Structure 1
Amino acid sequence: MAASSRAHSFNSAAAQYEASRPSYPPALLDFVEEFLRRSLAGIRVADVGAGTGIATALLCERGADVIAVEPGDAMAVQFRRVLPDVSIVRGDGNALPLADSSHDLITYAQSWQWTDTTRSVPEALRVLRSDGALAIWWNTTAFDVPWIRAQHERIAHHCGMPPRPAGRPDDSEAIRLAGLTGLRVARRQIRWQRMVPLDTHLANISSRSAFLVLDQAANRAFLTEEHRRLRQNFPDEVLEETYVVDLLVAARP
């Protein structure tokens, strides 16, 4: 399946995405502030691939002056519903609709992988002020939690994809994979949890691009079986999702 098709698949589930996707722990933006050596309050931020505004809302809560950049029609509509007072423009990370040297921070929450880093890195540097920074992060799977690892393997099989290795790349490999070689980069991995109803957990899973491009009848059958399986382990139908945020913050050398 082409990456572009998967990237735009979220438009078919924008409301579900907004309702079920996890947010991020406060320590994430604490580390960004530490890297910048200043508070986010009052600085100009572009949140690229903003989706429904999950990360944008956190940046706004810190007092940042945020503009969102989002390519998807339905995601942008959902964003405006959730954050009506925040500016949003249409575009993507490969060609930012922003002026040169206009922002202190550019963020990509769960969206850097949809860019071509040979284009998105120069674009970020073009838009950033000389002392600005680029922050990219993902909520990644906590493979050391047995039920989460087992579920990941079932999902990978359902989606026709190989399971991801349990280990994580070291810092140099993570920087290389992100296309940030040659920049000054700091990495932080932050473990956190949230308690959610079983139905929210399953809605979160089915809002992923690998699911959205599949046959929906097959997805419903998988999710029905997954509900039955998880209810055996979590009879109150509330479970703890564990994540490890993988955060890279980069600036000019």
Structure 2
Amino acid sequence: MTASARTTRAHSFNAAAAQYAANRPSYPPALLDAIEDLAGRPLTGARVADIGAGTGIATALLHARGADVIAVEPGDGMAAQFRGAHPDIPIVRGDGNTLPLITASVDFVTYAQAWHWTDPARAVPEALRVLRPGGALALWWNTDALDVPWISEAADRTARYFGVNVSAEKRNANARAADPTGRLDFARREVRWSRRVPLDTHLANIGSHSIFLVHGEEVTAAYLAEEREHLLRTFPDGIVEEVYEVILLLATTA
């Protein structure tokens, strides 16, 4: 993805913040367990900066776990949605390339579905700057479980329609891509989980992804109408079981 395309897609969420908040999947408790296990410390009582916090899906989970969380979000629409939903969690404007945080001020820096919008060559040094000794940088993504036949078929349809393999963009997350500077030693975990949602929620979730948002309402509506027909053959009762593999990368500082 070029820098220009990345910027355009990153900014596309602001006009669809309410749709994003209402329909995107959350994350399972086992993910937070894995973060604590790899970091060797609990989230409860830890100072956490959740970067690219969006509407606060992950931030709220970290807060509920007992972490002292501050959110960092660059987008107007996403930040407004966050403030409305989570008035008790502080949020500041900024992005991972230039963090608006004090040096050595946090125990965890987290990125949920957001690291791929940064320039890692800038974001890695910034994360290291704001982390305290022994702190952890945690990056994670909900990715489609492509071993499930209907999910694999749907991913293929999206790739053919838009010429972009959306599932591969996130499943290709690895230590070298996450840190081209080579300064961090990432451990990797995968956490499988699922949710059952109405077909309309599933389609709205799909439509809230950047590849759909940048193509406009007409193109997206046409695709989703076709997708509805495909999915009704698999889920005639109108309830879709979405299956995810959360990919977690975590590195600790010295």
CA 1:73–1:236: 2 relative to 1, 3 Å: same
1:54 maps onto 2:65 in alignment:
no
Q: Give distance in 2, aligned partners of 1:230 and 1:49.
A: 31
Structure 1 stretch displaced more, 32-41 or 106-115: 32-41
Q: Quick check: 59-68 or 224-233, which moved more?
A: 224-233
Counterpart for residue 94 of structure 2: 91
In the other structure, the counterpart of 1:237 is 238
| C-alpha deviation, 1:37, in angstroms | 2.1
Identity %: 59
Shift of residue 65, structure 1, vs aligned partner: 0.4
Instruction: Give me the whole-angstrom Cα distance separating, in 2, the residues matched to 1:55 and 1:183.
Output: 23
Aligned equivalents of 1:251, 1:68: Cα separation in 2: 20
Is residue 227 of structure 1 aligned with residue 249 of structure 2? no
1:92-135 Cα shifts (integer Å, max 9, x gaps): 00000000000000000000000001100000000000110000
Name the residue aligned to 1:179.
Answer: 179
**What is the alpha-carbon distance in structure 2 between the residues aligned to residue 198 and residue 218 of structure 1?**
19
Give the superposition deviation at 1:27: 1.1
Does the 8 Å contact 1:153/1:163 carry over to 2? no
Which of 22, 25, 29 is 1:26 aligned to?
A: 29
* Counterpart amino acid of residue 115 in structure 2: W
Superposed, 1:17-166 pairs within 5 Å as 17-162=20-165
State the match for 1:196 in structure 2: 197
Go from structure 1 to structure 2 and tell me whether the alpha carbon gap of 1:164 and 1:235 turns closer, same or farther (over 3 Å shift): closer
Secondary structure (helix, strand or coil) at the match of 2:174 reads helix
Q: Is the 8 A contact 1:10 1:75 kept in 2?
A: yes
Deviates more, 1:176-185 or 1:98-107: 176-185
- Relative distance call for 1:164 and 1:72 in structure 2 (3 A) is closer
Give the gaps of 5 or more residues in structure 2: none
**Distance (whole Å) between structure 2 residues aligned to residue 165 and residue 58 of structure 1:** 26
- Structure-2 change in CA distance of 1:78 and 1:162 (3 Å): closer
Structure-1 separation of matches of 2:198 and 2:168: 28
Relative to 1, partners in 2 of residues 1:165 and 1:45: Cα closer, same or farther, differing over 3 Å? closer
How far apart, in 2, do the equivalents of 1:232 and 1:217 lie?
Answer: 24
Runs of 4 or more consecutive aligned structure 1 residues displaced over 6 Å after TM superposition = none
- C-alpha distance in 2 between matches for 1:211 and 1:123: 31
Distance 2:168 2:68 in 1: 38
Query: 1:91, 1:53 → 2: CA distance?
Result: 15
Amino acid across the alignment from 1:251: T
Q: TM-score when scaled to structure 2?
A: 0.94
C-alpha spacing 1:163/1:5, structure 2 compared with 1 (3 Å): closer
2:84 aligned partner, one-letter code = R
AA partner of residue 27 (structure 1): A
Give the CA deviation at 1:66: 0.3
How far apart, CA to CA, are the structure 1 residues paired with 2:99 and 2:195? 33
> What SS class does the counterpart of residue 221 from structure 2 fall into?
helix
Give, in whole Å, the separation in 2 of the partners of 1:63 and 1:161: 39
